[in-house]
């Protein structure tokens, strides 16, 4: 199946694109876009891959669903378009970066600059119906994104995986801890951030690990 995705990712994931579940998933997604409002825009579904090529990945951050409000989701987990108000989880992410690294809160909530530095900002489910959180779960996306995590773990070395919240932490079984760093904590949402996300110092820990293994730190 032809999928518009960055060339190195296409090579790594070509076997997934030929599996029956992926064809079923594509049919579901096409129908959903034709029949209702779905986020992100169709040409942004694979932005996480197109902004962060397979051989450039240094950090993997795992989310669950895209944002389901207008002008928010654009294919990168936790990120919103420039000019869009910060969702609560993103506010706490920026607060932790400020406390951890002393960096000021940025003017906008787009994390595209992280992606272009080697951060794979991967939601487990890559599409969602407007105002219907979880509406595209268990349609095949999780099967695909699990394969992505496993492939990155197998083929690359010395990456940092940030697993925030119980859902993301379940993905640890897909990651080889003998050659990667897993940083796990509570989710940055206001309901959980005070239970261990705030103060986790994941951003400085990630950069130190990258530097220790000959990689460039991320400018968070």
3-state helix, strand, coil in the chain (%, to 5): 45, 10, 45
What's the pLDDT at 2?
76
Instruction: Quote the CA–CA distance of 185 and 125 in Å, as a whole number.
Output: 21
In the 8-state DSSP scheme, what is residue 56? Answer: G
pLDDT tens series, the chain, 220 aa: 778 899 999 999 999 999 999 999 999 999 999 999 999 999 999 999 999 999 999 999 999 999 999 999 999 999 999 999 999 999 999 999 999 999 999 999 999 999 999 999 999 999 999 999 999 999 999 999 999 999 999 999 999 999 999 999 999 999 999 999 999 999 999 999 999 999 999 999 999 999 999 999 999 9
Q: Where are the alpha helices (DSSP H) in the chain?
A: 7-17, 20-35, 47-51, 88-101, 112-115, 141-155, 165-169, 202-212
Catalytic sites, residue numbers: 65
Q: Residue 28: beta bridge partners?
A: none
Answering whether pTM is above 0.85, one says: yes
């Amino acid at each position: 199946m032809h999928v518009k995705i960055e060339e190195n990712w296409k090579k790594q994931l070509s076997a997934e694109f030929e599996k029956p579940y992926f064809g079923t998933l594509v049919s579901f997604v096409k129908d959903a876009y034709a029949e209702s409002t779905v986020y992100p825009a169709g040409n942004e579904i694979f932005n996480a891959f197109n902004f962060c090529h397979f051989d450039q990945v240094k950090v993997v951050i795992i989310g669950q669903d895209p944002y389901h409000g207008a002008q928010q989701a654009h294919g990168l987990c936790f990120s919103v378009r420039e000019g869009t108000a910060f969702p609560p989880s993103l506010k706490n992410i920026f607060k932790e970066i400020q406390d951890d690294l002393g960096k000021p809160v940025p003017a906008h909530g787009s994390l595209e600059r992280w992606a272009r530095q080697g951060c794979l900002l991967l939601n487990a489910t890559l599409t969602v119906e407007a105002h219907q959180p979880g509406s595209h779960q268990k349609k095949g996306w999780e099967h695909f994104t699990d394969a992505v995590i496993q492939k990155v773990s197998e083929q690359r070395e010395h990456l940092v995986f940030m697993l925030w919240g119980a859902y993301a932490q379940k993905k640890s079984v897909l990651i080889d801890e003998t050659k990667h760093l897993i940083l796990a904590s509570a989710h940055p949402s206001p309901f959980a951030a005070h239970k261990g996300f705030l103060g986790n110092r994941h951003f400085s820990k990630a950069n130190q690990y990258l530097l220790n293994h000959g990689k460039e730190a991320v400018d968070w």
